[in-house]
Amino acid sequence: MLDYPALTAVAAVVREGTFERAAAALGITPSAISQRVRGLEERFGAILVVRGQPCQPTELGRTLCAHLDRVRLMEVELAPGLPQGIGLGPSRIPLKVAVNSDSLATWFPDAVAAFGIKTSIPLDLTLDDEALTADRLRSGEVLAAVTADPRTVQGCRTIPLGVLGYAACASPDFATRFFEDGTTHEALRAAPCLRFDRRDGLQVRWVKDTFGFEFDAPTYTVASTHAFLDLALAGVAWGMQPVTLAEPHLVAGRLVELKPGSRLDVILHWTVARLPIASLPILTEAVRKAASATLT
């Protein structure tokens, strides 16, 4: 049997970042927090929290914290059936969800809003590349994920959501400056390019699928969907923009496509844990409705 008071202390340290803030959150002394964490580490014979600024969980520590979150969420489901006076009260434990930034900037807020209307449970959203969000689910960090990875995740079910389309866009001045003679290999090597982070392969994938070659260009790295669009509008570089966000600018002439009609489709899925938590089906339904209204 796990020592849940000690595990609660570990989770508080991970959540708050320091032993002092964890102690304040739990209403106990820092030395009591330290004793509980150290006792659990001695029981497991492994480090659970890497001390630092902030403190970080080890892989085992992260797994145990995820287990505690699941237990707390399932305990809330017991509240209606418990004798009066033993109720667990409303859940303040958030559902942890992994989502890609472009979905969060386009259609996913509608799902969050619909879920919030029907429940009082908060969401803890973790941002990651759509090709990697399912890994957060496999590691136990989250209970559900918007992902481009269709592979099976043990203990979960996967639901197709639709296609998020992308267009290779630049400002008209930028296109004239770098692509006056067309989107050639030489032009793509010279023209500055946007990428979300070092794992973002959409620009490379579009060039490979459209023109059949690899390219290496000066790169601006910007981990923000809206800043990604703003930099393209400002004529700094070209990049793959979600069509949902780019379309009004394309219609108004503030952006142009490097190769009109040649777009990139990313198929998204919703992968969710099969757990007896009543809020998960509600969230799933909200996600499906929001996706169906925007994704193709």
Domain boundaries, the chain: 4-81, 95-162+266-294, 165-265
Amino acid 269: pLDDT: 97
Residue 70's contacts (CB-CB under 8 Å, 6 or more residues apart) are 143, 275, 277
Amino acid 86: pLDDT: 47
95-162+266-294: which CATH topology? D-Maltodextrin-Binding Protein; domain 2 (3.40.190)
Single-letter amino acid, residue 162? G
Which pLDDT tens digit goes with each residue over 238-290? 999 999 999 999 999 999 999 998 999 999 999 999 988 888 999 999 999 99
Average pLDDT over residues 171-190: 95
Which pLDDT tens digit goes with each residue over 47-78? 999 998 898 888 888 888 888 887 777 776 66
For tokens 């595990």, the residue is 7
Amino acid 72: pLDDT: 77
Report whether pLDDT(114) > 90: yes
Q: Do the first three CATH levels of 4-81 and 165-265 match, i.e. the same topology? A: no
Amino acid 90: pLDDT: 47
Report whether pLDDT(88) > 50: no
Residue 171 binned pLDDT confidence (cut-offs 50, 70, 90): very high
pTM, 2 dp: 0.78
Q: Name which CATH class applies to 4-81.
A: mainly alpha
Percent of the chain with pLDDT over 70: 94
**Mean pLDDT across the chain:** 90
Average pLDDT over residues 13-39: 90
Instruction: Give yes or no for a cis peptide into 90 (omega within 30° of 0).
Output: no
Q: Name which CATH class applies to 165-265.
A: alpha beta
Pairing status of strand 193-195 against strand 219-221 = parallel
| Helix (H/G/I), strand (E/B), else coil: 65 | helix
Q: Which two tokens stand for residue 136?
A: 């957060």
